[in-house]
Chain A
Amino acid sequence: MPAEQPQEAAAPVEVQAEGEGEGKPKPKAKKEEDAPPRKNGLIETEYAKRGAHLDVQINPDQVVSAAEFLDGEGMTLEMVTGVDWIKENQFEVIYDYSYTGGQLLRVVVRARVDRNKPDIATVCHIFGGANWHERETWELLGINFVGHPQLEHFLLPEDADFFPLRKDFKP
Chain B
Amino acid sequence: MSSLAQSQLRETFELNIGPQHPATHGVLRIKVVMDGEYIVRAEPILGYIHRMHEKMGENRTWNQFWPNMGRLDYLSAIAYNHCYACLVERAMGIEVPERAEYIRVITAELNRIQSHLLGFGAYIMDLGGFTPLMYAMDEREQILDLLESVTGSRLTYCYFRFGGVYNDIDDDFITGTRAFIKRFRPQIPMYHKLVTGNVILMDRLNGVGPISADLCRKYGATGPVLRGSGVNFDVRRNEPYGVYPELDFDIPVYHECDSMARYMVRMDEMVQSCRIIENALNKLPEGPVMAEKVPKALKPPKGDFHFAVEAARGTFSMRTVSDGTNTSYRMRLRSPTYSNVSLFEEASRGMLLSDALAFLGSLDPVIPEMDR
Q: B-contacting residues of A (Cβ < 8 Å)?
A: 48-52, 55, 74-79, 81, 83-84, 94, 96, 100-101, 103-104, 106, 108, 127-129, 131-132, 140, 153-157, 164-165
A127: chain B residues within 8 A (beta carbon): 218-220
A-contact bits for B43-71, CB 8 A (1 contact / 0 none): 00011001010110010000000000000
Q: A-contacting residues of B (Cβ < 8 Å)?
A: 46-47, 50, 52, 54-55, 58, 87, 90, 93, 215, 217-222, 226, 231, 233, 238-239, 303-308, 315, 317, 319, 321, 329-330, 332, 334, 338-339, 342-343, 346, 371-372
B369: min CB distance to chain A, Å:
13
A106: chain B residues within 8 A (beta carbon): 306
B372: chain A residues within 8 A (beta carbon): 155
Contact partner of B317 among A50, A96, A155, CB < 8 A?
A96
A159: min CB distance to chain B, Å:
13
The CA of A103 and the CA of B237, in the complex, are separated in Å by 10
8 closest residue pairs by CB, A with B: A51-B306, A129-B219, A155-B47, A129-B220, A79-B334, A100-B233, A155-B50, A81-B332
| Contact A140 B217, CB 8 Å, known A50-B306, A94-B304 | no
| Contact A77 B220, CB 8 Å, known A50-B306, A154-B46 | yes
Are the CB atoms of A128 and B218 closer together than 8 Å?
yes
A110: min CB distance to chain B, Å:
9
Of all chain A residues, the one with the shortest Cβ separation from B50 is: A155
Are the CB atoms of B46 and A76 closer together than 8 Å?
no
Which of A48, A81, A164 has the most chain B CB atoms inside 10 A of its CB?
Answer: A81
| Contact A96 B319, CB 8 Å, known A81-B330, A129-B343, A140-B54 | yes
A-B contact pairs, 19 of them (CB 8 A): A48-B90, A49-B90, A50-B304, A51-B305, A76-B218, A79-B220, A83-B330, A101-B233, A104-B239, A108-B306, A127-B218, A128-B215, A128-B218, A129-B219, A129-B339, A129-B342, A129-B343, A132-B338, A157-B47
Which of B90, B215, B217, B233 has the most chain A CB atoms inside 10 A of its CB?
Answer: B217
Are the CB atoms of A108 and B218 closer together than 8 Å?
no
B238: chain A residues within 8 A (beta carbon): 100, 103-104
Of all chain B residues, the one with the shortest Cβ separation from A136 is: B338
The CA of A127 and the CA of B304, in the complex, are separated in Å by 24
A165: chain B residues within 8 A (beta carbon): 54-55, 58, 330
Secondary structure at chain B's binding surface: helix, strand, loop or mixed? mixed
A131: chain B residues within 8 A (beta carbon): 342
| Contact A155 B338, CB 8 Å, known A50-B305, A128-B343 | no
A164: chain B residues within 8 A (beta carbon): 52, 55
B58: chain A residues within 8 A (beta carbon): 165
Of all chain A residues, the one with the shortest Cβ separation from B222 is: A100
The CA of A81 and the CA of B332, in the complex, are separated in Å by 7
A8: min CB distance to chain B, Å:
21
The CA of A127 and the CA of B339, in the complex, are separated in Å by 11
Contact partner of A132 among B93, B317, B342, CB < 8 A?
B342
Are the CB atoms of A96 and B343 closer together than 8 Å?
no
B311: min CB distance to chain A, Å:
14
A32: min CB distance to chain B, Å:
8
Of all chain B residues, the one with the shortest Cβ separation from A153 is: B47
B219: chain A residues within 8 A (beta carbon): 127-129
B221: chain A residues within 8 A (beta carbon): 129
A108: chain B residues within 8 A (beta carbon): 304, 306
Are the CB atoms of B306 and A100 closer together than 8 Å?
no
A100: chain B residues within 8 A (beta carbon): 217, 222, 226, 231, 233, 238
The CA of A79 and the CA of B220, in the complex, are separated in Å by 8
The CA of A113 and the CA of B186, in the complex, are separated in Å by 58
A104: min CB distance to chain B, Å:
4
Of all chain B residues, the one with the shortest Cβ separation from A52 is: B306
B330: chain A residues within 8 A (beta carbon): 81, 83-84, 165
Are the CB atoms of A128 and B332 closer together than 8 Å?
no
The CA of A55 and the CA of B304, in the complex, are separated in Å by 10
The CA of A164 and the CA of B307, in the complex, are separated in Å by 24
Which of A50, A74, A77, A132 has the most chain B CB atoms inside 10 A of its CB?
Answer: A132
The CA of A77 and the CA of B219, in the complex, are separated in Å by 7
A49: chain B residues within 8 A (beta carbon): 90, 93, 305
B366: min CB distance to chain A, Å:
15
Which of A74, A100, A106 has the most chain B CB atoms inside 10 A of its CB?
Answer: A100
The CA of A74 and the CA of B50, in the complex, are separated in Å by 33
| Contact A74 B332, CB 8 Å, known A50-B306, A128-B342, A165-B55 | no
Are the CB atoms of A83 and B306 closer together than 8 Å?
no
The CA of A81 and the CA of B320, in the complex, are separated in Å by 10
